[in-house]
């Protein structure tokens, strides 16, 4: 199954993607993780992207696209994929259709995880990520519950950036809900509740 995840920052897209890939073996393609990887590696692309990310803005389409294309060329994509963080505006959605079309692939469904913005601000400010494996959890953990690695707070999870990311989502990304509705691919789940409850709803909504 080829899936696109939609939802505001902090809606739980990454968490649900981690669970789906662990159970069903699709490739988890997070453009945010790809960009953070480029920053950590100190590539020119990473350096250019960092300023946009720290400001809570979108990174220019062509930078993200080059990372995405490279990732889509990997073997594990044959088992299906979950796109987490792409597309993030209408131009990217149109590009994605073209890129997948060239590969003889298509998006099967766009899963919208919806959560009240007030809850999102609390979740994001408590979110922590693992330096070693990228796993995300919250500030109740001292070390990564998956690999024992050191946890850190992403630069863009600082309060001053969170509101900008939510605004960017509302103006640029939320219109994609209508885009995928128009393709008859939108599936919506309530992102409120604990991780396993949401996951059960996700699987039911996707018929998995």
- The contact set with ligand ADP (CB under 6 A) reads 9-10, 31-32, 35, 52-53, 56-59, 64, 85-86, 88, 92, 156, 165
Active-site option among 71, 88, 123, 128 = 88
Tokens of 38: 């480029």
Of 17 and 109, the one with the shorter C-beta distance to ligand ADP is: 17
Q: Determine whether 146 is an active site residue.
A: no
Of 10 and 46, the one with the shorter C-beta distance to ligand ADP is: 10
Q: Determine whether 71 is an active site residue.
A: no
Rounded least distance, CB 207 to ligand ADP, Å = 25
Active-site option among 19, 105, 146, 154 = 154
SS (H, E, C) the chain: CEEEEECCCCCCHHHHHHHHHHHHCCEEEEHHHHHHHHHHCCCHHHHHHHHHHHHCCCCCHHHHHHHHHHHHCCHHHHHCEEEECCCCCHHHHHHHHHHHHHCCCCCCEEEEEECCHHHHHHHHHHEEEECCCCCEEECCCCECCCCCCEEECCHHHCHHHHHHHHHHHHHHHCCHHHHHHHCCCEEEEECCCCHHHHHHHHHHHHCC
Of 138 and 204, the one with the shorter C-beta distance to ligand ADP is: 138
CB nearest ligand ADP: which residue?
32
Q: Determine whether 154 is an active site residue.
A: yes
Of 35 and 112, the one with the shorter C-beta distance to ligand ADP is: 35
Rounded least distance, CB 89 to ligand ADP, Å = 7
Q: Determine whether 13 is an active site residue.
A: yes
- Active-site positions read 13, 88, 127, 154, 165
């Amino acid at each position: 199954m080829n899936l696109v995840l939609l939802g505001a920052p902090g809606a739980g897209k990454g968490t649900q993607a981690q669970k789906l890939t662990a159970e069903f073996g699709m490739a988890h393609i997070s453009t945010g993780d790809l960009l953070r990887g480029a920053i950590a590696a100190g590539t020119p692309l990473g350096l250019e992207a960092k300023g946009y990310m720290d400001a809570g803005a979108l990174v220019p389409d062509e930078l993200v696209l080059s990372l995405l294309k490279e990732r889509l060329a990997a073997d594990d994509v044959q088992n299906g994929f979950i796109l987490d963080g792409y597309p993030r505006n209408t131009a990217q959605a149109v590009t994605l259709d073209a890129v997948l079309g060239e590969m003889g692939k298509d998006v099967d469904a766009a899963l919208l995880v919806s959560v009240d913005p007030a809850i999102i601000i609390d979740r994001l400010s408590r979110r922590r990520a693992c330096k070693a494996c990228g796993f995300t959890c919250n500030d109740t953990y001292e070390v990564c519950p998956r690999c024992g690695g050191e946890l850190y707070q992403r630069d863009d999870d600082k309060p001053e950036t969170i509101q900008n990311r939510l605004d960017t989502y509302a103006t640029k990304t939320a219109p994609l809900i209508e885009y995928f509705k128009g393709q008859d691919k939108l599936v919506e789940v309530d992102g409120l509740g604990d991780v396993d409850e949401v996951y059960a709803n996700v699987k039911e909504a996707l018929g998995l």
